[in-house]
Amino acid sequence: MPPRPRTAEPQVLARIVGLLVQAAQARGVAAPALLAGSGVDPARLADPDARIPLATETALWERAALLSGDPCFGLHAAAQVRPGAFDAMDYAVRTAPTLLDALQRLARYNRLVHDVADFRVIDAGARVRVEHGFASPGHRPGRQASEFTLAALPVVATQMAGGVPVRPLQVQFAHAVPPDLAPDLAPYRAVFGVTPDFGADVNALSFDAATLRRPLHGADPGLSRIVTAHAERLLAALAPPQPGLAGQVRRLVVDGLADGPPTLGQVARRLHQSERSLQRRLAAEGCRFAGLVEQVRRELAQRYIADPRLALGEVAYLLGFAEPSPFHRAFKRWTGMTPAAARRRQAEQALAPEAPRLTAGR
């Protein structure tokens, strides 16, 4: 993931605002009018790495509703969601074998999109409940953003089901009944198929469990493994956060590793500084660029080896090796054993928990 300053202000993926702008434009609101005074550079909205403050995103949702004259702007904007809108998280969700797996992946990988938004998937037998809120004291989802989030779930589920409508059995919002709509809640029934409950403890949807467990036609297990491994790699780069320039460099290396390890020049350009300056600043933190690349590859290699779903050739690809043999040589240099031997040892350790474990080198 891209470097971003450590700050108390939560951040969200700028592409969320890009989708918001498209929805506003469809309702006659020009992008400059919507973004005026927000501090958001329109050029950043298509950047897959860019993030903006959560407070800015929340304010833009409310401003879009005001300028468009649509009190249910967030609700209706969900219809704009298309595959790839949220990058790695979106692809991980959309390659899941079932809708239940998709929701569980959403809960796991949503941090790639939003610093504090939290999804909880509760499998209660006949029903599956999905709760949404903010895992950060002092922050609450705004009305428009909340309605967009919940409305987007059945939209994406229906797309994944090949156009067969997937409707929730129950909808709950934590905010009160909007005074500009009560008592007419027809817009909500049109989107969800049911009338929501308002003033609930948490935003939530409930679905028929049998529908969510049904296998999705056309699911590609191989692609799913690759996509989720990529999402895991990005997630690993987010936590624990590392201070200083070295942490920023590590994140850029992780982000671009599948295309081959980034060069010093590429990373320097991303950080808007010269190669010499980058080398000098890293040296001041007691590290070297080549050493950071090697460290990232070693740590991720041991993480991937622990996942038996990934073929060793796929692991080599994810680490940016052009073919398996250089990966095998590098892994043996790092650990003293081949990748296959390391995987066998981990399988044996899983059957004997008291045995020493192969660590990730942290």
Q: pLDDT per residue over 211-249, tens digit each?
A: 999 999 878 888 888 888 888 877 776 655 455 788 778
The pTM (predicted TM-score) of the whole model is 0.69
The CATH architecture assigned to 11-213 reads Alpha-Beta Complex (3.90)
Q: What are the sequence ranges of the domains in the chain?
A: 11-213, 242-351
Please give the radius of gyration of the chain, using alpha carbons only, rounded to the nearest integer. 23
* pLDDT given at position 290: 93
Q: Do 11-213 and 242-351 agree at the fold level?
A: no
DSSP assignment string, 46-111: T-TT-EEEHHHHHHHHHHHHHHHT-TTHHHHHGGG--TTTTHHHHHHHHT-SBHHHHHHHHHHHGG
Dist. CA 109–CA 232, nearest whole Å: 8
> Which residues lie across from 304 on neighbouring strands?
none
Give helix then strand counts, H and E, for the chain. Answer: 17, 6
pLDDT of residue 352: 61
Q: Is the dihedral of CA 286, 291, 295, 297 positive or negative?
A: positive
pLDDT, tens only, 263-321: 999 999 888 889 999 999 999 988 999 999 998 899 888 888 887 777 888 888 888 88
Q: What is the pLDDT of residue 232?
A: 81
In the predicted structure, residue 358 carries a pLDDT above the cut 90: no
Q: Is the pLDDT of residue 67 over 50?
A: yes
Topology at the third CATH level for domain 242-351: Arc Repressor Mutant, subunit A (1.10.10)
pLDDT confidence band for 357 (50 / 70 / 90): very low
The yes-or-no verdict on residue 347 having pLDDT over 80 is no
* Better-predicted residue by pLDDT, 142 or 347: 142
- Say if residues 302 and 345 touch (Cβ distance below 8 Å): no
Residue type, 127: R
> Is the N-terminal amide bond of 183 cis, ω within 30° of 0?
yes
Tens digit of each residue's pLDDT (9 = 90 or more) over 76-121: 999 999 998 888 899 999 999 999 999 999 999 998 899 889 999 9
